[in-house]
A = this chain, B = another copy of it.
Amino acid sequence: MRETLTIKDTRLMISEWKSEGLSIGFVPTMGYLHEGHCSLIKRAVSENDRVVVSVFVNPAQFDRKEDLNRYPVSLEEDREKIAMHGGDLVFIPKAEEIYPQGFNTLVEVENLDRELCGATRPGHFRGVCTIVNKLFNIIQPDKAYFGEKDYQQLKIIKTMTEDLNMPVKVVGCPIVREEGGLALSSRNARLSAEERKAALVINETLREVKKRVEEGERSVGPLRREAVEKINLVPGVRVDYLEIIDEKLLQKVEEIEGRALAAAGVFVGKVRLIDNIKLG
């Protein structure tokens, strides 16, 4: 496996592969890889001739400095995991090269960023769009892989890519979970044993919402209220948001009619976790 630290070296490797007519899959990450990331890499390897994984903790998408500073890093293990799953290149850019002095450009998807994480993390998705746009232009992949855990992120990146006519196919991949149902996240590493147990209530509650919808409940009001109450009852756990939204427009609905999504952002201790489940 190759490793590049600069945009120039990365472009050189990519253009060599392009000149050989090889297809390129891309998995952008912030490192501290877990099985969720590994599932993206495996999928990319199965669908492309060469696979690039980037590891970059993007300061532009953190609304809370505390969250950025505490974001876990494990470069050695990341390298091993990427190589083990068949990645061909790991690109580890420096923040100074990604955001040089005088950097002034932003990419933003409007409307889709109003609810969920967009409502409580100002500027977050602008930061995500801008870095993903840059990475797409550097790597020029045929396909790029994102997890469905960050459903809003996936939707926003798909929209950005289509709206801007970027020649990249954005592929969404299923959430990977621990045995108890907790969605894998690099942030889980910051949970104590007790918190990890408490965090199970998130997916448990979302599954209950799904079950009640399958049983015929259509009215969002009571569904949502009871779900929030249930989660907030667990000591040390606090709902940041829990919404039932239209799967396409990402807008709140009052009645569940077409394809909908229940999505939650929940603080477990100081760690903010997200999860979602498709309804109907």
A132-174 near B? 1/0 per residue, CB < 8 Å: 0110011010000000000000000001100111110000000
Q: Residues 92-119 of chain A: 1 if any B CB is under 8 Å from the residue's CB, otherwise 0?
A: 0000000000111111111110000000
* Contact B159 A137, beta carbon cutoff 8 Å: no
Q: Contact: B134 with A165, CB < 8 Å?
A: yes
Partner of A164, one of B108, B137, B140: B137
Assembly CA distance A165 to B159 (angstroms): 20
- Chain B positions within 8 Å of A110 at CB level: 104-106
Q: Is there a chain B Cβ closer than 8 Å to A7's Cβ?
A: yes
Bound form: Cα–Cα A109–B108 in Å: 11
User: In the bound complex, what is the Cα–Cα distance between A102 and B107 (angstroms)?
Assistant: 16
Q: Are B104 and A111 in contact (CB under 8 A)?
A: yes
Q: Which residue of B lies closest to A135 (CB)?
A: B165
A129–B134 Cα distance when bound, in Å, is 15
| Chain B nearest CB, measured from A120 CB (Å) | 20
Question: Judging by beta carbons under 8 Å apart, are B104 and A159 in contact?
Answer: yes
Tally of this chain's copies? 2
Task: Tally A residues with Cβ within 8 Å of B.
Answer: 27
Q: Assess the B107–A164 pair: CB atoms within 8 A.
A: yes
Residue of B nearest to A249 (CB): B102
User: A104's contact among B103, B112, B140, by CB below 8 Å, is which?
Assistant: B112
Instruction: Determine whether the beta carbon of B165 is less than 8 Å from that of A105.
Output: no
CB distance from A191 to the nearest CB of B (A): 35
Q: Which residues of B contact A140 (CB under 8 A)?
A: 167
> Chain B nearest CB: distance from A247 CB in Å?
14
A134 in contact with B104 (CB, 8 Å): no
Least CB distance, A41 to chain B, in whole angstroms: 23
User: CA of A103 to CA of B166 in the docked complex: distance in angstroms?
Assistant: 14
Q: Is the CB of A163 within 8 A of B112?
A: no
Is A159's CB under 8 angstroms from B105's CB?
Answer: yes
Closest residue of B by beta carbon distance from A110: B104
Question: In the complex, what distance in Å separates the CA atom of A129 from the CA atom of B165?
Answer: 14
- Pick from B7, B106, B163, B167: contact of A108, CB under 8 Å: B106
Q: Known contacts being A109-B105, A112-B104, is A7 close to B165, with CB within 8 Å?
A: yes
The interface centre, meaning the residue of A102, A105, A111, A133 with most chain B CB atoms within 10 A of its CB, is A105
Besides A106-B107, A138-B165, 8 new A-B residue pairs in contact (Cβ under 8 A), listed by A number: A11-B167, A104-B159, A105-B107, A105-B164, A134-B165, A137-B165, A137-B166, A137-B167
Closest 3 CB pairs of A and B: A105-B163, A137-B165, A104-B110
Pick 11 A–B contacts, CB within 8 A, sort by A.
A7-B165, A104-B110, A104-B111, A105-B108, A105-B160, A105-B163, A106-B110, A107-B107, A107-B108, A134-B165, A140-B167
